C-alpha cells in the first residue's frame, strides 16, 4: 500500500507541475506590442485622416497579397494604436470568396474578380449580392504583384525573353539555352548549350493561373493549354513559391516564374520582358504602366480590370497579378463598415501604396489609385 | 589466454587465424563507421538548427509573445501562440487517448489474456499503430468536414492524433501490466480484495511509472506531427485558446508557414527557432519519460 | 541455435517507441511472455470467499462495471479500426466508380475537370521505391550502430550514444525536409550524377532531373528518419541476448565478431526484421519531408522509373493538395489514394507481426 500511496503522491506532483506550468504559461503570454513609430514616422500626415474606429475585422483569401496586407495591417495598427483588430488569413482566393459570401469574413482578397457565370453551381456575384443584403459587392484592385521570370545561368546577367519564347520554354518546345530563338533576343550574350530546367508550382496557385493567362494571351499561340491553377506545361514541380525559388537558386540553368518578392529576396536574376516594343526590366514603374493601360471591366465603383497582355506601350511590363479586395458596397454592419472604409482607405493611400514596392509589389498607378480611394469612400 | 600457461610457443592454437582476425577487425571497423555515419546527419541537422535558431530562443519574448502583427520582414515576437496550440491539442488528444488506451490494455492483460477476443483487439491495435498520420488526418477530414459539415478546428486535429497516440499508450501499458508480478495480484486476492480493486489499487500503481512513460512518449510523438495540422486547421499568428476555432497555431505549422518566406527574412529565421524549440520540447519529454522509468526501477529493487 | 525464454516480448513489440527508457525494468524482472497465470476468466477468487458475504457482493458488482468499461475500450478500438477502413472506402467509392481511367494502372491525375481520371500507379511506384531504398540504406547502418552500442562501446559511451541516436527521432519531419533540400540534397547531386553516368543503362539509375528533388535524396532522408526507430529496437533485442550463449561462444575461442555472428545476430534476427518492417511502414507514410524535397514531374512527362527522377508519394500528393479539397469527387479521389496507402502500410505491418511471432514460436 505504501507503494501505491507513493505513486499517487507522485501522480499528484506531476499533475501539479503540469497544471502550474500550463496556467503559468496561460497567464503571462501576450501579443507583441504594436510596431510603434518604426516605419510610420514619415506618414504621420495621413494619420490625421484616419478615423481609427474600434472593433474587429476578419478577412480571408489570396496568399499572393499576404505579405503586403500583413505589413499594411501592422502599419495601420501602429497609426491607430491598435484600436481595431484586423485579421487576414491567406487561405487562397477561392476559399476567401467562399468564406465571404457565406458570411464568415468581412471582406475577401482574391486574385480574380467575382465571376458572374456559374462555377460548381454557384454564381459568385449573386451569392455575394445575397451576402451584402441585396447590394452588389465591389472588386477593388489593391495590390499589384508583378510576376518575375527568374533564372540561374552562369555568366548571363542580362537576359531578354518574350511571351512567345517563354511559352515555348515552359511548354518544352525550347530545350536548350542556346536555342536560336533565345539567341535572337539576346545578341552579344553567350548562352550555354545546357538544357533548360523549368520549375513550376506543384500546388494549385493563382500565380500559375495568371502566368498561364499571360502566356496564352501574349504567346502568339505557343501556349496551347487553357489557363489554370495547376500547371500544364513541362518541368519540375515544387511546393509553394519558396520551393520554386529554392529550386532556381540551387539548380544551374534553371528558370521559373514567381512573385517578384521571392525573386528579389533570394537575389535571383530576373529576365527582361520584350513586350513587342522593346525589352523592359521589371520595375515598379513598368508594372504600374501596364496596370494603367488595363481596361476597367466593372461599372461604377466596381473596378475589376482586364489586363492588356499584348500591344502594350513601350516600357510596360504586362506579366502581373492583381489582387482585389472584395467588399460589400453596402449592407455590412455599421461598425464593421467603418473599419473597412478606414482600413482600405489607408491601404489605398499614396503613402501606403508606395511603401509596397519594398516588399516586391508595385504601387497602383495614380489614376486608378484615385478611383479606388473614391470607391472606398463610397462604401456605405 | 592459455598461451602463457603452457609456456611453449604454440601460438597458432591460441590465437585466431589471420582470416579470422581480419574479419573481426573488419567488423569492428564496420560498426564504428556505421555509428559515425549515423551521427553525421544528426550533427549536421543540429548544427543547422542551433546555429540559426539559438539566438532567438534565448530571449524571453520568444516564449511569451505571439507572432501577431509581426510581418516576415520584422524581427521580434515569439511562439507563445504556437506553444499554446501545441500543448492544447496534445492535451485534448491525451485526454481521449489515455483512458481508452489504458483501459484497453487492462482488458487485454487482466481480463482477456489468451482469449480469442484479445487477439482481435491486439490485431486492431497493430493496424492502428501502422496508420500513417496523413491517413488518420484524411479520415477525420472526411468524417468531420465532408460528412458532418463542421469547419476545420483544433479538436479535429486532436481527434486525428488520438488514432496515432492510442496504440503507443496501449502497447506500453500492456507491457507494463505484463511485468507486474502475479504474486502481487494473488496477495491482494488472498486478502479478499475484489479484482477491480486489485487492478486499481495494486496493479495500476505498480505499473504507474511505466504507463506514464508511455503517455509521455505518446505526447512527444503527436506534438511533432505535421500532416494532420496541415489538413485540419488553419495557422494563425495570434493567441487562441478556443479549441473549436478554425484558426489555431502549432509549432509544426508555424515552421511550415515560415518556410514559405524568402530565406533572408527574419520570418525564415524563426523557422529554425521554432524547430529548435520543438526539438527541445520533445527531448525534454523523452528525458522525463526516462526519469520516470528510472525512478520506478529504483523502487522495485 | 536454440534460445531460452526471456522477456523478449517487450523488445519485439512493434509499437514500442524508439526512445523508451524502461528496458532496464524488463531486464531485471524477467516474466515469461505468455503468462501461465492460474487465474482464468472473471475473478474466481471473489466467489470463493464465501465467508465475507458483503465483500464478495460489492466485489462482483464493481467487477462487472470495470470489466464492462475496459472491454468497452477494447471493443471501441476494434470498431474504430473497422470504421476507419469502411468509412474511407465508402467515401472513395463514388469517385472510384466515376473514374474513367484504370485506378490501379493509370498514372493520370485529373480530378478537377468535368471528367474524373485518376490512377495510382505512379504514386505507388514512388512511394514504394523511396521507402524500400530508405530501408535498404538504414537497416545495415542501424544494425551496425546497435551492435556498436551493445557489444563494442564501453558503458559510459553507450548510454550517451544511444541518447544521441534517439535524438534523431525528436527532430520534426519539417526540419528533415528543409535540411534535406538545402543541405543534403546539393551534396548528393554529384553522387547521383556519377551513378547515372556509370550505371545509367539500368533503368533504375537512368539520368533524371538535375535538381536535388529526386527520389534518391528523399530515400536518403527517409533512411535517416527511420534510423533511430530501427536502431532502438535492434539495440533492445541485442541487449537481451542470453549472457550464457555469448559466454559459451567466447569460451570456445570465438572472436568478438564470431560471438556476434553465432549468438547475438541469430537471437535478434526476427526482432531486427520486424523493426525494419516498422521503419518501412514509417517511411511509406512520411508526408511533409517528402513534400518539401520531391519534385513533381510535369503532367506530360511520362513515367521514368529512375531513382534520379522526381515523383509524388501518396502522402505528399494528399498533403500538397489538401487546401483544394473543394468538391466531393475530388476529395474522394484523394481518399481513394489514402486508402491504398493504408492497405500498403497495413500489409507491411502485418508482415512485421508475423515475423515477430514466428521468432517467438521458435524461441
Residue C126 binned pLDDT confidence (cut-offs 50, 70, 90):
very high
Cell of A94: 477561392
Q: Which of A109-113, A371-375, B85-89, B235-239 has the lowest mean pLDDT?
A: B235-239
Q: Is A65 inside a domain boundary?
A: yes
Number of domains composing chain B: 2
Residues C175, B142: C-beta atoms closer than 8 Å: no
Q: Which of B2, B12, B96, B132 to mutate to test the interface with C (most CBs of C within 10 A)?
A: B132
Place of cell 551513378: C195
Contact A32, B76 (CB under 8 A): yes
- Regarding whether A338 and A271 lie in a shared domain, the answer is no
Neighbours of B178 (CB within 10 A): 22
Interface test with C, best of A93, A239, A246 (most C CBs within 10 A): A239
DSSP states along C275-317: HHHHHHHHHHH--HHHHHHPPEEPTTS-----TTS----HHHH
How far is it between the farthest Cα atoms of chain B? 89
Q: Do B92 and B224 lie in a common domain?
A: yes
How far is B240 from chain C, CA to nearest CA, in Å? Answer: 22
In this structure, of B29-43, C48-62, C301-315, the range with the lowest mean pLDDT score is: C48-62
User: CA distances (Å), C264 to each of C9, C155, C271, C275, in order?
Assistant: 17, 18, 11, 16
Cβ of C174 under 8 Å from any chain A Cβ? Answer: no
* B neighbours by CB contacts (3+ pairs under 8 Å): A, C
| Residues contacting B55, CB < 8 A, separation 6+ | none
Taking Cα atoms as reference points, which of C206, C305, C121, C309 lies closest to residue A236?
Answer: C309
Residue of A nearest to C309 (CA): A236
Contacts 24+ apart (CB under 8 A), B52-60: B52/B269, B52/B272, B52/B273, B53/B269, B53/B271, B53/B272, B53/B273, B53/B274, B53/B275, B53/B276, B53/B277, B54/B276, B56/B269, B56/B270, B56/B272, B56/B273, B56/B276, B57/B273, B57/B276, B57/B277, B57/B280
Residue range A183-211: mean pLDDT, rounded: 89
Query: Would A140 be classed as within a structural domain?
Result: yes
Q: pLDDT for A314-356, tens place per residue?
A: 889 999 999 999 999 988 888 889 999 999 999 999 889 998 8
B31 with B142, same domain?
no
CA distance C55 to C217: 66
Provide the residue-wise pLDDT of chain B in tens; the chain has 301 residues. Answer: 444 444 455 445 566 778 888 888 999 999 999 999 999 998 999 898 999 888 888 888 888 888 877 777 777 788 888 999 999 999 999 999 999 999 999 999 888 888 888 888 888 888 888 888 888 998 998 888 878 878 778 899 999 999 999 998 998 898 888 888 888 889 998 988 888 888 888 888 888 888 888 888 888 888 888 889 888 887 877 788 888 887 888 999 888 888 877 777 788 888 889 999 998 998 888 888 888 877 765 444 3
- Count up the domains in chain A and report the number: 2
Check residues A59 and C170 and name the one with the higher pLDDT: A59
Task: Please tell me whether the overall predicted TM-score, pTM, comes out greater than 0.95 for this model.
Answer: no
- Interchain CB contact of B201 with A (< 8 Å): yes
pLDDT at C51 over 70: no
What is the C-alpha to C-alpha distance for residues C356 and C9, in angstroms, rounded to an integer?
A: 9
Q: How far is B269 from chain C (nearest CA, A)?
A: 12
DSSP A74-127: HHHHHHHTT-EEEEEE---HHHHHHHHHTTSSSEEEESSPPPSSEETTEEHHHH
Task: Please tell me whether residues B240 and B155 are part of one structural domain.
Answer: yes
- Residue C35 confidence (pLDDT): 41
Using an 8 Å Cβ cutoff, are C7 and C33 in contact?
yes
Q: Which residue has the cell 530546367?
A: A197
pLDDT digits (tens, 9 = 90+) for C157-172: 888 888 888 888 888 8
Q: What per-residue confidence (pLDDT) applies to C330?
A: 83
pLDDT value at C43 more than 70: no
CA pair distance A160, A182, nearest whole angstrom: 8
Most B CBs within 10 A among A2, A13, A70, A266, hence the mutation to make, goes to A70
A137 within some domain? yes
Contact A235 C292 (CB under 8 A): no
Tell me: pLDDT of C186 over 70. yes
**Residue B265: its chain A contacts at CB < 8 A?**
265
Q: Which of A288, A313, A330 is the last residue of a domain?
A: A288
Dig out the grid coordinates for C276 from the structure: 525494419
Q: Do B194 and C80 touch (CB under 8 A)?
A: no
Residue-wise pLDDT tens digits, C6-40 = 333 333 344 444 333 333 333 343 334 344 444 44
Is there a single domain that holds both residue A163 and residue A280? yes
Distance CA C277, CA C347 (A): 10
What pLDDT sits at residue C363? Answer: 54
Residue A34 inside a domain? The answer is no
In this prediction, residue C281 carries a pLDDT of 87
Q: How many CB atoms lie within 10 A of CB C346?
A: 19
> Is A257 found in the same domain as A330?
no
Percent of chain C with pLDDT over 90: 25
Please indicate, yes or no, whether residues B169 and B107 belong to a single structural domain of this protein: yes
Other residues' Cβ atoms within 10 Å of the Cβ of residue B210: 26
How many CA atoms within 13 Å lie on the side-chain side of B207? 32
Bridge partners, A198 (sequence order) = A255
On whether both B25 and B171 belong to a single domain, the answer is no
Nearest to C17 by CA among C231, C287, C264: C231
Q: B50 and B166: one domain?
A: no
- What does the alpha-carbon distance between residue B125 and residue B131 come to, in Å, rounded to a whole number? 10
| One domain for residues B152 and B16 | no
Other Cβ atoms within 10 Å of B169 Cβ, number: 26
A219 domain-assigned:
yes
ipTM of the complex: 0.84
Q: Are residues B35 and B178 in the same domain?
A: no
Helix B133-140 crosses helix B154-179 at what angle (to 10 degrees)?
130
Q: Is residue B189 part of a domain?
A: yes
Closest CA of chain B from A31, distance in Å:
5
Cell of B171: 502497447
| Separation CA A272–CA A177 (nearest Å) | 15
Contact A113, A138 (CB under 8 A): no
- The C-alpha angle B187, B188, B192, rounded to 5 degrees, equals 115
What is the DSSP track for A188-207?
T-----PBPEEEEESS--HH
Question: Is A183 found in the same domain as A217?
Answer: yes
Interface check for C180 against chain B (CB to CB < 8 A): the answer is no
* Predicted pLDDT of residue C128: 94
Chain B CA closest to residue C19: B286
Q: Out of A14, A28, A261, name the one closest to residue B262 (CB).
A: A261
Q: What percent of chain A has pLDDT over 90?
A: 35
- Residue A315 inside a domain? The answer is no
Whether residue B19 is found in the same domain as residue B124: no
Contact C83, B128 (CB under 8 A): no
B30 and B134 housed in the same domain:
no
Q: 3-state DSSP call for residue C28? A: helix
For testing contact with chain C, the best of A154, A237, A242 (most C CBs within 10 A): A237
Question: Of C51-60, C245-254, C352-361, where does mean pLDDT reach its minimum?
Answer: C51-60
A228 within some domain: yes
B17 and B142 together in one domain: no
Report CB contact under 8 Å: C55, B124: no
Burial (0-12, 13-18, 19+ Cβ within 10 Å), C321: buried
Domain of B24 in residue numbering reads as 2-58
d(CA B65, CA B69): 11
| 3-state SS, residue A219 | coil
Per-residue model confidence as pLDDT tens digits over A161-195: 999 999 999 999 999 999 999 999 998 888 999 99
pLDDT of C36 reads: 40
Q: Measured between CA atoms, how close is B66 to chain C, in angstroms?
A: 21
Question: Is residue B28 domain-resident?
Answer: yes
C-alpha cell at B10: 604454440
Asked, for residue B212, whether it belongs to a domain, the answer is yes
Q: Are strands A137-152 and A197-201 parallel, antiparallel or unpaired?
A: unpaired
| DSSP 8-state secondary structure symbol assigned to residue A274 | E
Neighbours of chain A (3+ CB pairs under 8 A): B, C
Exposure class string for A31-49: b at 16+ Cβ within 10 A, else e: bbebbeeebbeebeebbee
Domain of residue A366 covers 10-20+42-145+297-303+322-378
The whole-number pLDDT of residue B70 equals: 75
CA B300/CA C25 separation, integer angstroms: 9
Taken in order A130, A131, A132, A138, is the CA torsion positive or negative?
negative
* Distance between CA atoms of residues C348 and C354, nearest Å: 10
Q: How confident is the model at residue A16 (pLDDT cuts 50, 70, 90)?
A: low
pLDDT of residue A21: 56
In chain C, the domains with their CATH numbers are 120-362 (1.10.3720.10)
pLDDT tens digits, residue range A226-264?
Answer: 888 888 889 999 988 888 998 998 888 999 999 998 888
In a domain, B136, yes or no: yes
Give a yes or no: residue B69 inside a domain: no
- Does residue B232 belong to any structural domain of this protein? yes
Does residue A26 form part of some domain? no
Query: Which cell goes with B55?
Result: 539566438
CATH number of the domain residue A139 falls in: 3.40.190.10
Q: Are residues B119 and B160 in the same domain?
A: yes
| Secondary structure string (H, E, C) spanning A114-169 | CCCCEECCEEHHHHHHHHCCCCCEEEEEEEEEEEEEEEECCCCCCCEEEHHHHHHH
Instruction: Measure CA C356 to chain center.
Output: 14
Q: C328: distance to nearest CA of chain A, Å?
A: 11
| B250 touches C at CB < 8 Å | no
- What digits encode the pLDDT tens for the residues B89-139? 999 999 999 999 999 999 998 888 888 888 888 888 888 888 888 889 989
pLDDT digits (tens, 9 = 90+) for A19-32: 555 555 555 677 77
Distance CA C27, CA B286 (A): 20
Residues of C in contact with B121 (CB under 8 A): 74-75, 77-78
Nearest CA in chain B to A258: B262
- In chain B, the DSSP E strands lie at none
Contact B78 A10 (CB under 8 A): no
What pLDDT does residue A107 have?
92
CA–CA distances in Å: residue C252 to residues B25, B217, C246, C247: 19, 42, 10, 9
Chain A positions with Cβ closer than 8 Å to C: 91-92, 94-95, 120, 172, 197, 199-200, 202-204, 229-239, 243, 246-247, 250-254
Is some CB atom of chain A closer than 8 A to the CB atom of C182?
A: yes
Amino acid at each position: 500500500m505504501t507503494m501505491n500511496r507513493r505513486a499517487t503522491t507522485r501522480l499528484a506532483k506531476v499533475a501539479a507541475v503540469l497544471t502550474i506550468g500550463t496556467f503559468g504559461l496561460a497567464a503571462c503570454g501576450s501579443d507583441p506590442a504594436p510596431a510603434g513609430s518604426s516605419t510610420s514616422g514619415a506618414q504621420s500626415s495621413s494619420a490625421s485622416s484616419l478615423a481609427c474606429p474600434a472593433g474587429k475585422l476578419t478577412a480571408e483569401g489570396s496568399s499572393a497579397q499576404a505579405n503586403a496586407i500583413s505589413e499594411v495591417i501592422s502599419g495601420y495598427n501602429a497609426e491607430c494604436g491598435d484600436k481595431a483588430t484586423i485579421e487576414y488569413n491567406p487561405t487562397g482566393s477561392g476559399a476567401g470568396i467562399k468564406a465571404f459570401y457565406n458570411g464568415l469574413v468581412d471582406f475577401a482578397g482574391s486574385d480574380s474578380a467575382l465571376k458572374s457565370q456559374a462555377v460548381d453551381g454557384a454564381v459568385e456575384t449573386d451569392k455575394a449580392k445575397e451576402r451584402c443584403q441585396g447590394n452588389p459587392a465591389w472588386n477593388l484592385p489593391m495590390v499589384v504583384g508583378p510576376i518575375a521570370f527568374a533564372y540561374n545561368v552562369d555568366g548571363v546577367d542580362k537576359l531578354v525573353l518574350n511571351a512567345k519564347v517563354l511559352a515555348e520554354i515552359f511548354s518544352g518546345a525550347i530545350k536548350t539555352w542556346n536555342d536560336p530563338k533565345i539567341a535572337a533576343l539576346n545578341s552579344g550574350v553567350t548562352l550555354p548549350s545546357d538544357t533548360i530546367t523549368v520549375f513550376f508550382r506543384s500546388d494549385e496557385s493563382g500565380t500559375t493561373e495568371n502566368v498561364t493567362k499571360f502566356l496564352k494571351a501574349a504567346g502568339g499561340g505557343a501556349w496551347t493549354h487553357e489557363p489554370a491553377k495547376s500547371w500544364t506545361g513541362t518541368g519540375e514541380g515544387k511546393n509553394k513559391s519558396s520551393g520554386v525559388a529554392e529550386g532556381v537558386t540551387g539548380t544551374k540553368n534553371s528558370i521559373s516564374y514567381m512573385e517578384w518578392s521571392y525573386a528579389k529576396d533570394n537575389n535571383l536574376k530576373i529576365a527582361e520582358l520584350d513586350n513587342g516594343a522593346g525589352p523592359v526590366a521589371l520595375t515598379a514603374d513598368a508594372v504600374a504602366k501596364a496596370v494603367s493601360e488595363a481596361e476597367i471591366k466593372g461599372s461604377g465603383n466596381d473596378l475589376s480590370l482586364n489586363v492588356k497582355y499584348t500591344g502594350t506601350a513601350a516600357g510596360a511590363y504586362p506579366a502581373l497579378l492583381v489582387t482585389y479586395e472584395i467588399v460589400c458596397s453596402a449592407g455590412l454592419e455599421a461598425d464593421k463598415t467603418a473599419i473597412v472604409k478606414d482600413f482600405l482607405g489607408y491601404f489605398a493611400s499614396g503613402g501606403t501604396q508606395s511603401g509596397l514596392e519594398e516588399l516586391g509589389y508595385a504601387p497602383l498607378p495614380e489614376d486608378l489609385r484615385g478611383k479606388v480611394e473614391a470607391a472606398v469612400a463610397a462604401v456605405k | 589466454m592459455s598461451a602463457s600457461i603452457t609456456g611453449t610457443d604454440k601460438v597458432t592454437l591460441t590465437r585466431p587465424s589471420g582470416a579470422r582476425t581480419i574479419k573481426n577487425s573488419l567488423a569492428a571497423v564496420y560498426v564504428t563507421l556505421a555509428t559515425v555515419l549515423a551521427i553525421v546527419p544528426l550533427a549536421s541537422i543540429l548544427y543547422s538548427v542551433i546555429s540559426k535558431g539559438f539566438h532567438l530562443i534565448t530571449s524571453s519574448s520568444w516564449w511569451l509573445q505571439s507572432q501577431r502583427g509581426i510581418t516576415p520582414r520584422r524581427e521580434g515576437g515569439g511562439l507563445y501562440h504556437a506553444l499554446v496550440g501545441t500543448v492544447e491539442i496534445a492535451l485534448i488528444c491525451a485526454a481521449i487517448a489515455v483512458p481508452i488506451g489504458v483501459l484497453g490494455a487492462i482488458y487485454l492483460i487482466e481480463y482477456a489474456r489468451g482469449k480469442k477476443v484479445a487477439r482481435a483487439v491486439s490485431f486492431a491495435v497493430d493496424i492502428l499503430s501502422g496508420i500513417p498520420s496523413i491517413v488518420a488526418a484524411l479520415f477525420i477530414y472526411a468524417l468531420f468536414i465532408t460528412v458532418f459539415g463542421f469547419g476545420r478546428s483544433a479538436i479535429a486535429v486532436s481527434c486525428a492524433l488520438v488514432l496515432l497516440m492510442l496504440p503507443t499508450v496501449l502497447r506500453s501499458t500492456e507491457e507494463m501490466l505484463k511485468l507486474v508480478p502475479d504474486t502481487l495480484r494473488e496477495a491482494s486476492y488472498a486478502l479478499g480484495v475484489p479484482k477491480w480493486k486489485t487492478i486499481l489499487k495494486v496493479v495500476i500503481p505498480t505499473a504507474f511509472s511505466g504507463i506514464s512513460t508511455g503517455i509521455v512518449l505518446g505526447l512527444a510523438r503527436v506534438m511533432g506531427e505535421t500532416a494532420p495540422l496541415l489538413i485540419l486547421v488553419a495557422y494563425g499568428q495570434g493567441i487562441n485558446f478556443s479549441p473549436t476555432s478554425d484558426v489555431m497555431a502549432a509549432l509544426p505549422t508555424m515552421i511550415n508557414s515560415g518556410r514559405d518566406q524568402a530565406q533572408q527574412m527574419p520570418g525564415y529565421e524563426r523557422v529554425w527557432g521554432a524547430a529548435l524549440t520543438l526539438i527541445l520540447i520533445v527531448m525534454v519529454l523523452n528525458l522525463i519519460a526516462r526519469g520516470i522509468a528510472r525512478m520506478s526501477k529504483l523502487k522495485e529493487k | 541455435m536454440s534460445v531460452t525464454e526471456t522477456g523478449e516480448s517487450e523488445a519485439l513489440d512493434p509499437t514500442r517507441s524508439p526512445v523508451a527508457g524502461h528496458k532496464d525494468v524488463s531486464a531485471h524482472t524477467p516474466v515469461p511472455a505468455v503468462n501461465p497465470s492460474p487465474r482464468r476468466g472473471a475473478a474466481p477468487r471473489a466467489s470463493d470467499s464465501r465467508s465475507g458475504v458483503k465483500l464478495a457482493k460489492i466485489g462482483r458488482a464493481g467487477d462487472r462495471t470495470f470489466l464492462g468499461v475496459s472491454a468497452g475500450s477494447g471493443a471501441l478500438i476494434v470498431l474504430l479500426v473497422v470504421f476507419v477502413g469502411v468509412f474511407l472506402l465508402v467515401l472513395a467509392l463514388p469517385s472510384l466508380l466515376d473514374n474513367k481511367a484504370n485506378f490501379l494502372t493509370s498514372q493520370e491525375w485529373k480530378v478537377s475537370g468535368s471528367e474524373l481520371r485518376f490512377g495510382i500507379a505512379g504514386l505507388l511506384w514512388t512511394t514504394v521505391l523511396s521507402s524500400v531504398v530508405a530501408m535498404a540504406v538504414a537497416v545495415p547502418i542501424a544494425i551496425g550502430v546497435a551492435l556498436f552500442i551493445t557489444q563494442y562501446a564501453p558503458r559510459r559511451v553507450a548510454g550517451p550514444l544511444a541518447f544521441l541516436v534517439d535524438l534523431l527521432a525528436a527532430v520534426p519531419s519539417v526540419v528533415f525536409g528543409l535540411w534535406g533540400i538545402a543541405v543534403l540534397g546539393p551534396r548528393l547531386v554529384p553522387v547521383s550524377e556519377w551513378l547515372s553516368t556509370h550505371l545509367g543503362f539500368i533503368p533504375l539509375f537512368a539520368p533524371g532531373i538535375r535538381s536535388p528533388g529526386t527520389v534518391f535524396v528523399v530515400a536518403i532522408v527517409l533512411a535517416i528518419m527511420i534510423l533511430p526507430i530501427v536502431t532502438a529496437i535492434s539495440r533492445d533485442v541485442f541487449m537481451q541476448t542470453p549472457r550464457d550463449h555469448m559466454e559459451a561462444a567466447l569460451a570456445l575461442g570465438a572472436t568478438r565478431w564470431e560471438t556476434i555472428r553465432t549468438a547475438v545476430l541469430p537471437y535478434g534476427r526476427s526482432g531486427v526484421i520486424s523493426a525494419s518492417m516498422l521503419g518501412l511502414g514509417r517511411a511509406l507514410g512520411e508526408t511533409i519531408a517528402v513534400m518539401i524535397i520531391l519534385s513533381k514531374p510535369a503532367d506530360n512527362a511520362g513515367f521514368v522509373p529512375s531513382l534520379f527522377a522526381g515523383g509524388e508519394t501518396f502522402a505528399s500528393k494528399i498533403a500538397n493538395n489538401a487546401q483544394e479539397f473543394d468538391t466531393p469527387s475530388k476529395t474522394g479521389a484523394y481518399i481513394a489514394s489514402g486508402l491504398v496507402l493504408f492497405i500498403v502500410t497495413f500489409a507491411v505491418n502485418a508482415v512485421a507481426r508475423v515475423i515477430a511471432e514466428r521468432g517467438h514460436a521458435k524461441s
